[in-house]
């Protein structure tokens, strides 16, 4: 059957609009009364943080395309202006939904639960006195009140910082009339202030917004001038980093310069209090070279994501998800040396239900083992105070050959990665930076150990980052092995990353940007031919995003041939499922729950010779053509069976699954009269340690 003759916009879903749909699903977790109350607040904050990044990166790039008149981009062939207009409409609704949830639902329910945000009009006399003292002693010393004239221009405003625009009256100390002023809140100040216990309501934890404290006491900063109005605002700036690979001679220096510049990149969004008068709104728009469609009037704090701190300091574990102890697979429960264990069997860890500690201990054991000669590792994100980096430093200082491929351009982690690169180099490690234009996104560790006069390679390959903190909230697979062929493949890939030469034939791995895309197309086409030949054909992929046009077209052709295709895609999906004559056999679901679904798994039935792959790569243009990614096959029956059970559980989930319809909208599944099945809850029950 030929594909229906449809315009591109009807064949594909725009990436940016799909991203906003994901953020709506995140916000739905905040609206869900079955989610613990403080976790609902956290999900609200996550939705705001996601929106910040969306404007900093996606909308910023879109505005640049509009400015230069760039042609339509993406497989759906929508113009930049069409996409921007759709984003504006949907984002207005999303922001309105966020603040309505906060003001009409979250604040009242939190108050009833004993976590109270006290508004300035509700402060009693004792609270007013304490907050006045707090302002004088803790806030005033770090504030700089400003007024404007030709010699005192409007100050530079830091990306996403809290600021106040003021309407003033009267004359200053020099006899000059002042109409406007401004106060910037330094980032060193906490945005949420916890009131002392004796000033809180009985049995309650009371909090006050810094913005409220500044607004109430701002007149103290302008003695002799009258403050007629004080309105908070926030600017979001373009945070894309631009490095010309043909011109840059020192990537570290180039990035350091770009990081500083990005703090004051072009403004892309203005958030301002809905009470701000029209003339002050226009003043801000004019100054930041923005239009009315770039402004969002908000009924509450302009930086909602700062509310997340309350979840951790409120002291109310009963309003959070129940704590759990991460488990260990049976193979790692013995006291045997990790190299002894891996010499006998491969190990698959499923985070966060199972602990990340064995991977840290694996690297630590390698650093301390006198028989280990070399350690090689890729680092994309690690976080501050990483125990893995500590082990690598110790290994280098102990005289082992330590090679670390660090991706400096890991978005929003660039400064941290520059710092850890310097630390590793000072310890004697060989540090190699990712190639400009081809981010190193692969997750790999290689340990070379001398055993009985021969060298044995041990590897860890993962679907997620070597970031200890995120392994508590991201779902990922980690695979540990001493397979000779896999070790040889990982060795070849590291050689390619460091020398930029060809990796040669790989027997257990597929890599981007060289072999992964072609292999995926070939495997999809093989399933297509099997279906046409009357054989059973099946594809299951669990990924974070799908927008690569050729892959989507191959999946459409497979669907038309009768291949049953299940896609578990957390975020962006540009493919339209269920389109008559095109994609009736494709089903797409997104799972959004307590943990961020992050693992990437590909399954192909292959006429009964089932193939399983785990990978660092999503099915996106950037992952397949502009990144160094790793994909490794799983060949042990026990581990393949485990992954298959996991995939089947995700497909059976009827509590946290959202089904994508052909029009781009998502519908949340509910159990109805069926047995409730939550994949994440089931993994907690079966993989986490008994409590």
Instruction: Say if residue 197 is in the same domain as residue 261.
Output: yes
CATH of the domain at 626: 3.30.870.10
Q: Which domain holds residue 623?
A: 512-687
* Structural domain contains residue 507: no
Query: Count of CB atoms within 10 A of residue 395's CB?
Result: 25
Residue in 299, 238, 302, 293 with CA at minimum distance from that of residue 271: 302
| DSSP state string for 14-61 | -HHHHHHHHHHHHHHHHH-TTS-HHHHHHHHHHHHHHHHHIIIIIIHH
Q: Look at residue 488 and give its three-state secondary structure.
A: helix
Instruction: Say if residue 380 is in the same domain as residue 305.
Output: no
Instruction: Say if residue 204 is in the same domain as residue 310.
Output: yes
Q: Structurally, how many domains does the chain consist of?
A: 3
Instruction: Say if residue 422 is in the same domain as residue 557.
Output: no
Q: Quick one: tokens of 287? A: 């100054």
Above 90 in pLDDT, residue 421?
Answer: no
* Confidence (pLDDT) at 251: 47
Query: Count of CB atoms within 10 A of residue 532's CB?
Result: 14
Instruction: Say if residue 472 is in the same domain as residue 610.
Output: no
Position with higher pLDDT, 244 vs 89 = 89
Instruction: Say if residue 648 is in the same domain as residue 612.
Output: yes
Name the residue with tokens 């000059």: 176
Among 217, 441, 467, 598, which one carries the catalytic annotation? 441
Above 70 in pLDDT, residue 245?
Answer: no
* Confidence (pLDDT) at 383: 74
* Cβ 442 vs Cβ 509: under 8 Å: no
Task: Name the band, by pLDDT with cuts 50, 70 and 90, for residue 34.
Answer: very high
pLDDT in tens, 575-595: 999 999 999 999 999 999 999
Instruction: Say if residue 460 is in the same domain as residue 578.
Output: no
Domain boundary among 446, 476, 501: 501
**Cα end-to-end distance, the chain, whole Å:** 55
Domain boundary among 290, 319, 348: 319
Q: Quick one: tokens of 662? A: 């052909």
Position with higher pLDDT, 179 vs 639 = 639
Task: Please report which helix (H) or strand (E) contains residue 505, including its range.
Answer: none
SS3 per-residue string spanning 360-422: HHHHHHHHHCCCEEEEEEEECCCCCCCHHHHHHHHHHHCCCEEEEEECCCCCCCHHHHHHHHH
Instruction: Say if residue 391 is in the same domain as residue 314.
Output: no
φ, ψ at 613 (rounded to 5°)? -135, 140
Domain boundary among 319, 351, 369: 319
* Structural domain contains residue 376: yes
Average pLDDT over residues 59-77: 89
Residue in 689, 615, 601 with CA at minimum distance from that of residue 645: 601
Active-site residue flag, 441: yes
Above 70 in pLDDT, residue 105?
Answer: yes
* Structural domain contains residue 35: yes
Residue 323: DSSP 8-state: P
Largest Cα separation within the chain, whole Å, is 91
* Structural domain contains residue 1: no
CATH of the domain at 264: 3.30.1840.10
| Mean pLDDT, rounded, of the chain | 91
Instruction: Say if residue 525 is in the same domain as residue 643.
Output: yes
* Confidence (pLDDT) at 687: 95
* Structural domain contains residue 2: no
Task: Please report which helix (H) or strand (E) contains residue 450, including its range.
Answer: strand 444-451
Instruction: Say if residue 339 is in the same domain as residue 194.
Output: no
Instruction: Say if residue 490 is in the same domain as residue 562.
Output: no
């Amino acid at each position: 059957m030929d594909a229906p003759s449809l315009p591109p916009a009807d064949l594909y879903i725009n990436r940016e609009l799909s991203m906003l749909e994901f953020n709506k699903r995140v916000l739905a977790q905040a609206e869900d009364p079955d989610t613990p109350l403080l976790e609902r607040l956290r999900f609200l904050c996550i939705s705001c943080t996601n929106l910040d990044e969306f404007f900093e990166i996606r909308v910023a790039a879109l505005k640049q395309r509009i400015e230069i008149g760039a042609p339509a981009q993406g497989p759906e062939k929508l113009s930049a202006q069409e996409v921007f207009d759709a984003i504006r409409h949907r984002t207005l609704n999303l922001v309105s939904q966020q603040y309505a949830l906060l003001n009409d639902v979250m604040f009242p329910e939190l108050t009833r639960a004993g976590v109270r945000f006290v508004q300035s009009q509700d402060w009693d006399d004792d609270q007013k006195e304490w907050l006045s003292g707090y302002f004088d002693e803790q806030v005033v010393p770090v504030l700089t009140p400003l007024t404007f004239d030709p010699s005192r221009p409007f100050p530079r405003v830091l990306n996403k910082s809290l600021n106040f625009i003021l309407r003033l009256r009267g004359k200053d100390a020099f006899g000059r009339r002042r109409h406007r002023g401004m106060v910037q809140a330094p980032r060193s100040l906490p945005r949420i202030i916890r009131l002392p216990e004796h000033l809180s309501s009985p049995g309650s934890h009371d909090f006050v917004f810094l913005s409220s404290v500044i607004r109430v006491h701002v007149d103290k900063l302008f003695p002799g001038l009258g403050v007629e109005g004080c309105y908070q605002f926030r600017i979001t700036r373009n945070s894309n980093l631009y490095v010309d690979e043909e011109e840059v001679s020192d990537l570290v220096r180039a990035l350091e310069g770009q990081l500083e510049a990005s703090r004051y990149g072009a403004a892309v969004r203005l958030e301002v209090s809905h009470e701000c008068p029209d003339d002050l709104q226009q003043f801000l728009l004019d100054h930041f070279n923005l239009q009315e469609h770039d402004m969002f009037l908000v009924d509450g704090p302009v930086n909602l994501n700062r509310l997340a701190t309350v979840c951790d300091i409120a002291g109310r574990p009963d309003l959070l998800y129940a704590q759990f102890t991460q488990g260990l697979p049976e193979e790692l429960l013995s006291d045997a040396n990790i190299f002894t264990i891996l010499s006998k069997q491969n190990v698959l860890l499923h985070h966060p239900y199972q602990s990340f500690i064995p991977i840290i201990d694996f690297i630590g054991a390698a650093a301390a083992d006198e028989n280990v000669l070399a350690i090689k590792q890729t680092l994309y994100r690690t976080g501050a105070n990483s125990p893995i980096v500590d082990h690598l430093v110790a290994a280098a200082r102990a005289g082992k050959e330590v090679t670390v491929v660090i991706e400096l351009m890991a978005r929003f982690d660039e400064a941290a990665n520059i710092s850890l690169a310097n630390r590793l180099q000072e310890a004697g490690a060989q540090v190699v930076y990712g190639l400009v234009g081809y981010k190193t996104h692969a997750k790999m560790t290689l340990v070379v150990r001398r055993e009985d006069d021969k060298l044995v390679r041990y590897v860890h390959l993962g679907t997620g980052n070597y970031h200890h903190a995120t392994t508590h909230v991201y779902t990922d697979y980690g695979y540990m092995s001493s397979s000779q062929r896999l070790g040889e493949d990982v060795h070849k890939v590291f050689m390619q990353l460091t020398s930029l030469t060809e990796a040669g034939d790989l027997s257990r791995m597929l890599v981007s940007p060289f072999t992964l895309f072609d292999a995926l197309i070939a495997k999809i086409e093989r399933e297509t031919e099997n279906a046409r030949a009357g054989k059973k054909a099946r594809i299951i992929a669990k990924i974070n995003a799908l927008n690569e046009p050729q892959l989507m077209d191959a999946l459409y052709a497979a669907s038309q041939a009768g291949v049953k295709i299940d896609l578990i895609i957390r975020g962006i999906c540009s493919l339209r499922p269920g389109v008559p004559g095109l994609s009736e056999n494709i089903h797409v679901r997104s799972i959004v729950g307590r943990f961020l679904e992050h693992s990437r798994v590909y399954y192909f039935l292959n006429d009964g010779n089932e193939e399983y792959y785990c990978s660092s790569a999503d099915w996106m243009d950037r992952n397949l053509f502009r990144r160094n990614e790793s994909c490794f096959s799983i060949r042990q029956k026990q581990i393949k069976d485990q992954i298959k059970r996991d995939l089947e559980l995700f497909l059976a989930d009827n509590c946290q699954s959202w089904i994508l319809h052909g029009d781009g909208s998502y519908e949340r599944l509910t159990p109805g009269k069926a047995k409730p099945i939550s994949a994440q809850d089931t993994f907690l029950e079966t993989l986490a340690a008994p409590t």
